[in-house]
Amino acid sequence: MFTHVNVLTREIIGAAIEVHRHLGPGLLESAYLNCLMRELLLRGIPFKHEWPLPVEYKGIRLESGYRMDLLVADAVVVEAKSVEALAPIHDAQLLTYLKLGGWKVGLLINFNVEILKHGIRRKVVRFEDET
């Protein structure tokens, strides 16, 4: 699985770099996200946009309105940002989405930087066996 996810994250990052190369920094998050979705479509990479993420609490499923920016190939959570600087709360948001959904890999991409590689964070969560 991790080989597939590593290839997939590399493809997502390549698509994000292509978007950033054409648009540069300074636009709204929605513009980058829409262009990233277009780039993923052009590359034949499947994704779900604004994927709902319920919260389960003590046996009750709560539809609390959380929506992830992208779930790519049912394996990688992508959160797009266009902020001055990524903050710890952005990392916490991504890690929470990974935990709630049971996914292991996520990308946090801040498009509001001069060089996109400085705005990308890859997070991997290791779940313990519950046996």
- CA–CA gap between residue 12 and residue 14 (Å, rounded): 5
Whose tokens are 């890690």? That residue is 95
List, for residues 70-93, the tens digit of each pLDDT value.
999 999 999 999 999 999 999 999
- CA–CA gap between residue 84 and residue 124 (Å, rounded): 24
Give yes or no for a contact between 50 and 41, defined as CB atoms under 8 angstroms apart: no
List, for residues 88-107, the tens digit of each pLDDT value.
999 999 999 999 899 999 99
Q: Is the dihedral of CA 83, 50, 10, 95 positive or negative?
A: positive
Residue 130 lies in a domain: no
The CATH number covering residue 64 comes to 3.40.960
Q: Identify the domain containing residue 116 by its residue range.
A: 2-124
Give yes or no for a contact between 113 and 16, defined as CB atoms under 8 angstroms apart: no
- CA–CA gap between residue 107 and residue 95 (Å, rounded): 10
Two tokens at 22?
Answer: 């054409």
Share of residues in the chain with pLDDT > 90 (%): 78
Residue 53 lies in a domain: yes
Pairing of strands 105-110, 76-81: parallel
Residue 18 lies in a domain: yes
Residue 73 lies in a domain: yes
Residue 54 lies in a domain: yes
Q: How many domains does the chain have?
A: 1
Say yes or no to pLDDT of 128 above 80. Answer: no
Residue 131 lies in a domain: no
Residue 129 lies in a domain: no
Kindly indicate the confidence band of residue 129, based on its pLDDT and cuts at 50, 70 and 90.
very low
